[in-house]
């Protein structure tokens, strides 16, 4: 089995895209005819996966949207659907787990056995032993929070009290811990200067970049700051701007068009 990084590289090459579609099925925004279905989260997710698959290098379903409604089973079925129909496109489960080792072992099993995700997002706050259970799944990906896209993240991740700032310590440390090509770092599009600093310390480590689209990050700035030496190295995630591009019956076609446009916009600056 190839490493997670190798799978990502193949996906970048085959798709010609750095775009990741985030599947955040906010029930209040799911189109009416889907909301009435027996498994609305699954139906919506499947339609988005099918519509956007030609334009993406990864899918990123977001766990809280399913969990808040008690719809974990639909999340599991959606991941199976994506992997069965698009086996070359990795599925990153966006769960942001983080707990001590004995419990992290259970969260790793949740992500990699129950959901069979190709990768999962996690927090660095508890340190190496809290990540070891994920590393134990040797060909799966571990996507560690580094510099998140939200406005409040400065306080801890980039405090002027800390030198070097915490996000850069995380970047450096994770790239050292990553001996089997498993790790990525979450670095928000809303902070392109810091994205560049992360890139400078991690070599070709792939970065997951949320914050374009609804959150306002500039694709041009992200590409300028974050591409690796091969002109790849980025998984640029957009959720709401794509999956809710239209709320009517043609939502899937609208999502496809939005994904294609985002892919092309990204490729303009590569």
Q: If phi over 0 gives left and psi between -120 and 50 gives alpha, with beta otherwise, what is residue 104?
A: alpha
Residue of 69, 136, 138, 200 interacting with a copy of itself (CB under 8 A): 69
> Residue 58, SS3?
strand
Residue of 2, 164, 248, 249 interacting with a copy of itself (CB under 8 A): 164
Binding to a copy of itself by CB under 8 A, coded x per residue (else -) over 103-122, reads xx-xx-xx--xx--------
> Two tokens at 72?
């974990």
Residue of 42, 82, 89, 145 interacting with a copy of itself (CB under 8 A): 145
Helix, strand, coil shares of the chain, percent, nearest 5, are 50, 15, 35
Give the count of alpha carbons within 13 A of 225, CB side only: 21
Whether the link from the prior residue into 164 is cis, omega within 30° of 0, is yes
Torsion angles phi and psi, residue 234, rounded to 5: -125, 140
> Which stretch in 30-38, 84-92, 167-175, 198-206 sits in contact with a copy of itself by CB under 8 A?
167-175
Instruction: Check residue 152 for interaction with a copy of itself (CB under 8 A).
Output: yes
Return the sign of the alpha-carbon dihedral for residues 227, 230, 231, 235.
negative
Instruction: Check residue 148 for interaction with a copy of itself (CB under 8 A).
Output: yes
Is the CB of 38 or the CB of 161 nearer to a copy of itself?
161
Give the footprint of a copy of itself on this chain (CB under 8 A): 24, 26, 62, 64-65, 67-70, 72-73, 76, 96-101, 103-104, 106-107, 109-110, 113-114, 123-130, 145, 148-157, 159, 161-164, 166, 169-170, 173, 210
The residues annotated with a catalytic role in the active site are 96
């Amino acid at each position: 089995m190839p490493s997670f990084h190798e799978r990502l590289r193949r996906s970048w090459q085959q798709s010609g895209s750095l775009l990741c579609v985030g599947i955040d099925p906010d029930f209040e925004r799911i189109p009416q005819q889907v909301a009435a279905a027996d498994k609305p989260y699954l139906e919506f997710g499947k339609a988005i996966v099918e519509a956007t698959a030609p334009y993406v290098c990864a899918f990123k379903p977001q766990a809280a949207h399913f969990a808040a409604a008690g719809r974990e089973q639909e999340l599991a079925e959606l991941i199976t659907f994506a992997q069965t129909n698009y086996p070359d496109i990795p599925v990153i489960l966006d769960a942001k787990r983080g707990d001590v080792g004995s419990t992290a072992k259970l969260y790793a099993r949740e992500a990699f056995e129950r959901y069979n995700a190709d990768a999962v997002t996690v927090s660095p706050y508890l340190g190496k032993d809290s990540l070891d259970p994920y590393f134990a799944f040797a060909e799966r990906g571990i996507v560690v929070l580094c510099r998140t896209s939200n406005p409040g993240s400065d306080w801890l991740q980039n405090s002027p009290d800390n030198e070097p700032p915490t996000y850069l310590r995380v970047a450096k440390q994770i790239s050292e811990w990553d001996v089997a090509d498993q790790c990525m770092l979450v670095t928000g599009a809303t902070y392109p200067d810091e994205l560049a600093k992360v890139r400078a310390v991690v070599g070709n480590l792939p970065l997951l970049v949320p914050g374009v689209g609804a959150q306002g990050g500039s694709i041009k700035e992200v590409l300028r700051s974050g591409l690796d030496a091969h002109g790849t190295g980025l998984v640029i995630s957009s959720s709401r701007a794509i999956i809710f591009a239209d709320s009517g019956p043609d939502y899937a076609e609208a999502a496809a068009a939005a994904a294609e446009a985002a892919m092309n916009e990204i490729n303009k600056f590569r």
